[in-house]
Amino acid sequence: MNAPQEEKGREPRVGVYVCQCGHNIGRVVDCEAVAKYASGLGGVVHASTNRYSCSEPGQNGMVKDIVEKKLDRVVIAACSPRLHEPTFRKMLETAGLNPYLLEMSNIREHCSWVHEDGKTATAKAKDLVHMAVERARLLEPQEAATVPVTQAAMVVGGGIAGIQAALDLADQGYQVYLVEKEPSIGGMMAKIDKTFPTMDCSI
């Protein structure tokens, strides 16, 4: 999964996918033209359009390409990364690539949806894809580290919320430290006489 060390220095093999998102992008942006433009960019070894990149067939096609064409950087020009970056990162993992070797180019929210004029939108989409490819060429695999978790919890504040949280954690078997500033736990709740709907005493 890690890009091996010996790969360093080798020109990356970038694959570019221009998503039509049905009509959402395809109606305004000339996706074929963008893909053609992308295929001429440095480092790009594959460029094509997708009807729906996030769909099952869309993802399967890309996984196939990644494996067959030995792609090691993937640029997907589609919607906002805030929407589908997690989706496509998982896809990269399926294809055996480190998930951080993905770069998304937002040609929907930032382009086809805000520029009615096809010429303007297509020109901008080309620029955005160009920018994404340039960034993708320098992407490196990243590994998230793991740290151990101590099996004990501290609850700060011994009012109704703190007491409930402490009990729930303790009932699961964790050691709980309930820290309260006042000389007794209970908080505001302990001062209340009866509570709705059971009208029982708060203590």
Partner 1 sequence: MMDAGRHPKIKVLAGSELKSVSGYIGNFTAVVRQKARMVSSACTSCGDCVEVCPVSVPDEFEEGLGTRRAIYKPFPQAIPSLFLIDPDSCLGSNPVACGKCKEVCGAKAIDYAMRDEEIVLSVGTVVVATGAEPWDPTPNVEYGYSRHLDVLTSIEFERMLSAGGPTGGHIQRPSDGKEPRSIAYIQCVGSRTQDPCRGMTYCSSFCCMETVKTTLQVQEHIRGVKQTVYYMDIRAFGKGFEGLYTRSRADGVRYVHSIPSSVTRDAAGRLLCRIADPDTGELREEAHDMVILAVGVKPRTDSDAIQKLFTLSRTEDGFFLESHPKLKPVDTPTGGVFLAGFVESPKDIKDCVTQASAAASRASILMRKGEVTVEAITSSIDPGLCTACGQCAKVCPFHAITVDKEKGTATVVEALCQGCGTCGPECRFDAVSLRHFTDEQFFNQIDAALEEEPEKKVLAFCCNWCSYAGADFAGVSRMQYPGSVRIIRSMCSGRIDERFVLYAMEKRAGIVLVSGCHIGDCHYIDANKSTLTRVEKLQERMRAAGLDVGRLHRRWVSAAEGRRWADTIQELADRLPSVDPAEVSKAADWARDQRVKYEKRVEKHREKRRAPKPAMAGSGAGGAA
Q: Is 162 in the site for partner 1 (CB under 8 A)?
A: yes
Q: Is 183 in the site for partner 1 (CB under 8 A)?
A: yes
Query: By CB under 8 A, what part of segment 106-135 binds partner 1?
Result: 106, 108-111, 113-117, 120-121, 123-124, 127-128, 130-131, 133-135
Q: Is 55 in the site for partner 1 (CB under 8 A)?
A: no
DSSP 155: E
Conformational region of residue 167, where left means phi above 0, alpha means psi within -120 to 50, and beta covers everything else: alpha
3-state secondary structure of 17: strand
Spatial separation of the C-alpha atoms in residues 88 and 101, rounded to whole Å: 10
DSSP string, 40-76: TSTTEEEEEEES-TTSHHHHHHHHHHHHHTT--EEEE
Query: By CB under 8 A, what part of segment 57-116 binds partner 1?
Result: 80-82, 100, 106, 108-111, 113-116
Q: Is 188 in the site for partner 1 (CB under 8 A)?
A: yes
Nearest distance in Å: CB 67, partner 1: 24
Cβ proximity to partner 1: between 67 and 156 the closer is 156
